[in-house]
Structure 1
């Protein structure tokens, strides 16, 4: 299987995003989606969702225990209507506007991650976060931040296990919503399979580093990189909109 220069760069982005999420429980789409969109808008949202689903499978298999789905069950159920609304929203958005929405979603997620919102991990908050995750995740592939806000005070191991179960059970719903909207072309799914080794490599590297990063959380670096990617994507999308006039 041969790779072009852009595909090699995409592979590195996927590896880095998977490494972060396997360590923190969140971060793959937050980091990878804006960067992959800058490389090729076709990667978002379908390819990012599919790769995120593969990562969730790896994380659950790596934990070697039953999926921790009981606590996030309200979020799982609420993501179903959220995913449907996200699919409808995506069908209404031109390409440049999708870039603006993705960049704004990532930037808002970064800003809210500085604990301006103190949310308990209650069933009501989980349901609201699940709906927002379905809406954002299906439209932009960035569905993790609403769940991260609710889980921000939980232990790292608990967060990894429960969010992996959440994404494993709900990502297929978003993919089906995209398929129904005709936004899941076969050629981009094949491109996703070429990036799958990045998922496996990122997860494997995370297993080797997990003991260190449980003590030294690289959260600030993740947020900084995501913010830079979001700002770049916003500027590029604004330039594209201006060029269309």
Structure 2
């Protein structure tokens, strides 16, 4: 609501649905709350030296140096994720050079500041230049859709704009996440079909219960959202160690039962 004017203006200028722009912002940085604090020059230098994706990160390092040279941001303020994704919308340096825009007109393409305007405009420009079709939805849940990310789970009918979202992050799950979040921002309800248990045999409700019970036992998972990340894995390992179990950090139905 606070940024509705900016988002509406971006929709008019670039043709990209304002709700899609907002959803990308949400998925990429929790609406600017988690922009990353790792120095990008250091991160990309380290990853280029590491060698596993050396050529890619050499390209990112050179692009990051060019961004500093162009005057968009001082090196001291150029921060991002451990892999060099930057700002509100988590652009990698090469994408920044190609797609970032100075929407505010201050002479700098500043996707790092507290003001998200340039970052949101850059995301819109990215989608537009990759073929976004004005007035077309991303898709929708459909029992007859051909896209089913997980056997037994929801099916989706998708449009060309779904594939454009995947140019931002080449993942069906990511594009569905952006599309569905944009729908929810617009007032739509939840998906009608439920996702089946995950590879460990746990539903989302099971994972939330697991996190809640670990935390109640003194093994803090830093929240109960049903997402098994590093905090939950650390808590699981600590719990397993105290119980004399194999220390794997992996959730399971047996682990959940042991916490009941």
Q: Which bracket does the TM-score occupy, shorter chain normalised? A: under 0.3
- Return the structure number with greater relative CO, CA threshold 8 A, min gap 6: 1
Q: Larger helix proportion, structure 1 or 2?
A: 1
